[in-house]
Structure 1
Amino acid sequence: MTDTATTDTAATDTAATDHAADRPSAADAYLVPGTDRLAADFYGFQDELTPVEREASLRLRDFMEREVRPIATDYWDRAEFPSQIIPGLADLGMFGAMWPETQRFENSAVWRGWAALELGRVDPSTATFVGVQSGLAMSSIAIGGSPEQRAQWLPPMGRGELIGAFGLTEPLSGSDSSKGLRTTAERHGDTWVLNGAKRWIGNATFADVVVIWARDVAEGQVKGFLVRRGTPGFTTTKIERKQALRIVQNADITLDGVRVDEADRLPNIHSFREVALVLRLTRAEVAWQAVGVQVGAYEAAVRYAGERQQFGRPIASFQLVQDRLASCLGNITASIALCLQVSRMQDQGRQGDEHAALAKGYATTRMRETVAWCRELLGGNGIVLDHGVAKFFADAEAVYSFEGTRDMNNLIVGRAITGVSAFV
């Protein structure tokens, strides 16, 4: 990437050495002995990272093991968000890693994908929070915003001082958002009036700014607006009783005559085409997140298989258990390989909607299969949070659905295959 902030290599290497010396052993059970490579990374894909990216990945892994893993299950059970982790994630460069205003070091789409894997293998909710803040909200501003808007919003969002959300999905519009968007925007001089509703909007209960997508009444085209917390007529209501990604604070949003200045309209958004560009960037990272969910469930299942005794010996010694674990590892390995190539294509400027769609659809389908096998391996203990698999099993259902369901992603790929659109 060009025109990006870089980190002094010598300083980074020194910090890396110092940091490695006190790296905790919390994740040692998941590593190839004598290395810092995840055992689930069976073919050594981590070697694709540059030295700087690799060290950044290890710092992220340390943070997730130290700060997130010990509290994630409790917060998931209570359906609360641990806001204390935000500064640490910001310090690691998790917010806005690809934009010059917020990039902490030069990095690739491959690294950003691997970071999503590291987040997802410990807590899919944290991975989703980062995806909303960095991938959806900040990318919308970076792609659609003016230089002034980028300078105003991206740096404080990159530091975690301001939280963003992405308001596209509606109560009656999800997969058909390109044509079925019902939220309206009507211009009155230098002010826009927004009316409508949004649903399933992550981070919205505590976001400082929400990117609201609405259809211009006059032109019929989709436009983007920055709606600030506390704006009259803008209300959020937390969605309760979720059984997946419970840490993520999803909300229903009501827009009742919400007035937004022209200065808070994203001027480079002219149609749904720009929205699709944001989704293309984030969809590939969701595929990586799905790999992380597989890895997390697999690691818990391997640990359990070594500890659980049946018929006087650990169940890891049973053929059927080994068959299940080998099948899970195959799913993980194939998913990483697919995601890796999609990220390479993004770095090369060759990634299309169909490439990101195939990765997301495939990885999430394999994820669903993997977490089911891992839950099955644990028997009744597979539905208890204490054993590590149940949360991944539940969270996988949400990851499977957002950023385009398997069916919708397959239709994007099918259109590329046949040249014919099968969308209604």
Structure 2
Amino acid sequence: MVAKVEGEAKRGAGKPDPHDLLGLDALLSEEEIATRDRIRGFVRERIKPNIGEWFYEARFPEEIVQEFAGQGLFGMHLEGYGCPGRSAVEYGLACMELEAGDSGLRTLVSVQGSLAMSAIHKFGSEEQKNEWLPPMAKGEKIGCFGLTEPSAGSDPSSMMTRARREGSGWTLDGSKRWIGMGTLADVAVVWAKTDEPGEPVRGFLVPTDSKGFRAEVIGEKLSMRAAVQTELHFEGVRLPEEAMLPGAKGLRGPFSCLNEARYGIVWGAMGAARDAYEEALAYSLEREQFGTPIASFQLTQKKLVDMMVEIQKGTMVALHLGRMKDAGSLRPEQISFGKLNNVREAIAICREARTILGGNGVTTEYSPLRHANNLESVRTYEGTDEVHTLILGSALTGLPAFR
């Protein structure tokens, strides 16, 4: 046993990897590494050379939709109906690599797969699944997820959107805000209050060409500028009975979808943080002041060390949650742990990385400040810090503090 340990120690000896000091790759299977490296290569070749321009121009590159579909990114972790059926860890690794490119473009995968497709997959009828999931997996149809409203963000139970029975169908009225991909979507998964007894909140599949449906882009953003956020309006939208998602009753339906999206964020935030760290590390080794690379300065090294430590810790959290998700044992409050910690730390890392870049760090040539700006949105959507803190507080004490 001693000889075996010594042999492993020797094999692990040598120059440390500044991108993976703890050797976390050893915790991944060959298949997981292959998936990660494939998406990493795609991001390096297709997104990173262009994202500065897309962000500056506040332009979502619509052509990227089919390219993402070609990479098997839509509904990646869902089984059947033309979905790739990959593991939760593989999906997480893909989210990490996509967000190393840009949070807004990772959001496309989250909205399409973790929210819209997940809702249909979890709660839809067989007819609904067969109609929508195969073309959505191929990127032929785009979905959006309508839960948040202008006056109902952290408290969706106060939503004002209403679906009332009329004859053999429903009539939908109301509005939703901060809805990703709304102007590009073919179908909107919309959550509305009904007059149904017991669990009045129900989900509906609303084709976006329905009379009375309108989507408007939210512009002039300082964050997520390469993504599409919208406001949806429903004015007397008529829907047939079969538009309702039969398996979703009450807020447990949309919350289960939010947890799918939150899980992807746990990984994605560490991708943004890692990219910012790597940019700062490379810059510090090349940039000279006072006749020496700034990487040689004690204060710069402290910043780099602090960033690397939190990235490795956050990645371990994401991987642990992924293993639990694949085992079917992951709980919502554990996802809140990861979302709260990893996004909060990622913002701090990106801001610190910008300081190493000095004045050059405020240009689109470098990624840390763009990542930091994007993460302000990531920190807010799918549950604010305050919401996740209270979820965890309730888990610790058994006492809910929302009211």
Task: Provide the TM-score with structure 1 as the length reference.
Answer: 0.88
> Which of 215, 237, 244 is the aligned partner of 2:223?
244
Q: CA deviation at 1:105?
A: 5.3
Give the Cα separation in 1 of the matches to 2:180 and 2:89: 25
Q: Conserved in 2, the CA contact under 8 Å of 1:214 and 1:222?
A: yes
Q: Conserved in 1, the CA contact under 8 Å of 2:262 and 2:336?
A: yes
Q: Conserved in 1, the CA contact under 8 Å of 2:43 and 2:98?
A: yes
Instruction: List per-residue Cα deviations over 1:303-325 (Å, max 9, x = no partner).
Output: 21122221122111111101001
- Helix, strand or coil: the match of 2:339? helix
- Helix, strand or coil: the match of 1:269? strand
Instruction: List per-residue Cα deviations over 1:141-199 (Å, max 9, x = no partner).
Output: 1011011111110110000111111111100001001x211111101132111111110
- Helix, strand or coil: the match of 1:99? coil
Give the Cα separation in 2 of the matches to 1:228 and 1:293: 34
Distance 1:420 1:43, change over 3 A: same
Give the Cα separation in 2 of the matches to 1:76 and 1:253: 23
Q: Which residue of 2 aligns with 1:380?
A: 359
Distance 1:58 1:102, change over 3 A: farther
Give the Cα separation in 1 of the matches to 2:155 and 2:21: 39
Q: CA deviation at 1:288?
A: 0.8
How large is the Cα RMSD of the aligned pairs? 1.8
Q: Does 1:342 align with 2:321?
A: yes
Alignment of 1:131-146 (within 5 A): 131-146=110-125
Q: What is the number of residues matched between the two proteins? A: 389
Q: CA deviation at 1:375?
A: 1.3
> Which of 65, 70, 73 is the aligned partner of 2:49?
70
Q: Does 1:93 align with 2:75?
A: no
Q: Conserved in 1, the CA contact under 8 Å of 2:142 and 2:185?
A: yes
**Aligned-partner residue type, residue 300 of structure 1:** E
Distance 1:203 1:217, change over 3 A: same
> Which of 172, 184, 197 is the aligned partner of 1:206?
184
Instruction: List per-residue Cα deviations over 1:363-418 (Å, max 9, x = no partner).
Output: 11111211111112222222211122221121111111111011100111111110
Q: Does 1:216 align with 2:194?
A: yes
- Helix, strand or coil: the match of 2:49? helix
Q: Does 1:192 align with 2:192?
A: no
Structure 2: segments with no counterpart, 5+ residues: 1-13
Give the Cα separation in 2 of the matches to 1:158 and 1:104: 6
**Aligned-partner residue type, residue 178 of structure 2:** W
**Aligned-partner residue type, residue 333 of structure 2:** E
Distance 1:256 1:39, change over 3 A: farther
Q: Which residue of 2 aligns with 1:292?
A: 271
Q: Conserved in 2, the CA contact under 8 Å of 1:97 and 1:103?
A: no
Q: Conserved in 2, the CA contact under 8 Å of 1:300 and 1:388?
A: yes
Instruction: List per-residue Cα deviations over 1:257-313 (Å, max 9, x = no partner).
Output: 111111111110111112111112221111111111101111111121122221122
Distance 1:58 1:39, change over 3 A: farther
Give the Cα separation in 1 of the matches to 2:222 and 2:391: 29
Q: Which residue of 1 aligns with 2:209?
A: 230
Structure 1: segments with no counterpart, 5+ residues: 1-33
Task: Provide the TM-score with structure 2 as the length reference.
Answer: 0.93
Q: Which residue of 1 aligns with 2:234?
A: 255
Q: Does 1:266 align with 2:280?
A: no
Distance 1:122 1:260, change over 3 A: same
- Helix, strand or coil: the match of 2:225? coil
Sequence identity percentage: 37
**Aligned-partner residue type, residue 79 of structure 2:** P
Q: Conserved in 1, the CA contact under 8 Å of 2:224 and 2:374?
A: yes
Q: Which residue of 1 aligns with 2:108?
A: 129
